[in-house]
């Protein structure tokens, strides 16, 4: 009987199985106590990171929901007052990039954001200046 008590005392308190979800379990019985303990610590850290990411996504989704609601209400109010309105909004969050355009104008009906609305830089002036410089250099080369 004392051997049974010794065996119970020597048995590890570290679980040999981890339930990953209701239908999947990870068998850790082939690992030492130290390895199982480290694996459980890593698993719990991963679950905390996953929970944190889920909270970040939730906050970003709620912020987008509020933004959309505000833009919609403002657009509706201005339009009902008989005014023309185009509202555009772009944002990049952990959810992804969202581009919104709404209103009662032709540009809103087209639904295409301009380059400045999407945050793209307009390189046209740079290209024009580079072209003029190239023409001046070519002209000066032929003049010599």
Contact 43, 18 (CB under 8 A): yes
Q: Where are the domains of the chain?
A: 2-81
pLDDT at 54: 92
What is d(CA 61, CA 17) in angstroms, rounded to the nearest whole number?
Answer: 35
Q: Is the pLDDT of residue 4 over 80?
A: no
Please report which confidence band the pLDDT of residue 40 belongs to, taking 50, 70 and 90 as the band edges.
Answer: confident
Interval 17-36 mean pLDDT: 79
pLDDT at 138: 92
Q: Which of 89, 84, 88 is nearest to 104 (CA)?
A: 84
Contacts of 112 (CB under 8 A, 6+ apart): 101
pLDDT at 5: 46
In DSSP notation, 25-57 reads EEE-TTS-HHHHHHHHHHHHHHHHHHHHHHHHH
């Amino acid at each position: 009987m004392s051997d049974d008590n010794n065996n119970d005392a020597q048995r590890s308190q570290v679980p040999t199985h981890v339930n990953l979800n209701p239908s999947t379990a990870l068998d850790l019985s082939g690992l030492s106590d130290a390895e199982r303990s480290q694996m459980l610590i890593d698993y719990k850290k991963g679950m905390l990171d996953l929970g944190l990411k889920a909270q970040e996504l939730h906050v970003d989704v709620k912020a987008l929901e509020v933004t959309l609601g505000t833009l919609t209400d403002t657009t509706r109010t201005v339009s009902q007052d008989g005014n023309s309105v185009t509202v555009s909004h772009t944002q990049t969050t952990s959810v992804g990039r969202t581009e919104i355009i709404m209103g009662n104008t032709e540009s809103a009906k087209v639904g295409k954001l301009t380059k400045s609305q999407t945050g793209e830089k307009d390189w046209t002036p740079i290209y024009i200046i580079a072209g003029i410089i190239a023409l001046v250099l070519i002209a000066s080369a032929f003049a010599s």
